[in-house]
Structure 1
């Protein structure tokens, strides 16, 4: 009996491993967010609205697991990218108040949030960062949306 092994399976495993390693490097090289303000966020303009919404929805649901749903005001840098708009909508959908450049009173708990969306090897690496939590994940993007292509990476700080 001859057994023919498919070459696509090892290649898929190597690509997944490469994406996971890239995500780990992306997360390990993150800038910290200081108390002075939020670092600039970035997302490529070529990500479609449906893909941006799918990624933002998944990432915000995972962030809410870490910081609690709707318990604070989230501060974001103003962004007109499809992902920036989808992220703001997803945060509001989870009950968070979102501020971009407004001042808040001292009694309001504000979570500063930054993100990075980075195309890599046919996938997209996404990261959300606060002062205390960083989450990241790789996604496979199509014209109709995006699906997770890796496990969630979570880093808690002090």
Structure 2
């Protein structure tokens, strides 16, 4: 390989790397922003409910039930409504992400849902824990396709 071709390929690789990093954006805390909740999957009510209940169960092992207030960006998506209902059903107080808390601090919670033809990828994030799992939509709701991934952080 000639020197000029090698330099060209190296420059091309560097520009590809720089271009991919240019799209990265640092949020307020470097990794988490409670206003980033997004449901891009447009789930049915049954699927959204099944997934929300399945994700809130392990979340309750990491956030104190009954004493924690969760700040959730409420939106009209099926998953947003199902997550709100599931959190309340587990004993959490749920407020809007921009609402002021009277006593104590609220735990900001964000979620993202993306899907393709074969699976639905769900991620729920708080400052101290992040849960992720993939699902497949079924007639009666959803079935998990993977074990749940749990990442804990100390702040």
Does the 8 Å contact 1:54/1:145 carry over to 2? yes
TM-score by structure 2 length? 0.74
Q: Offset of 1:50 from its aligned partner?
A: 0.3
Give yes or no for the alignment of 1:110 onto 2:113.
no
Aligned to 1:142: 138
Structure 1 unaligned blocks of 5 or more? 1-28
Superposed CA deviations along residues 123-151 of structure 1, whole A, max 9, x for unmatched, are 10111000010011011112420011100
Rg larger for: 2
Aligned to 1:67: 63
SS state of the match for residue 55, structure 2? Answer: helix
Give yes or no for the alignment of 1:132 onto 2:131.
no
Structure 2 unaligned blocks of 5 or more? 1-23
Aligned pairs, how many?
129
Q: How far apart in 2 are the matches of 1:46 and 1:104?
A: 31
Q: How far apart in 2 are the matches of 1:45 and 1:153?
A: 20
Aligned to 1:26: none
Superposed CA deviations along residues 36-62 of structure 1, whole A, max 9, x for unmatched, are 962320113531000000000010111
The CA RMSD measured in Å over matched residues stands at: 2.5
Aligned to 1:12: none
Q: How far apart in 2 are the matches of 1:97 and 1:108?
A: 12
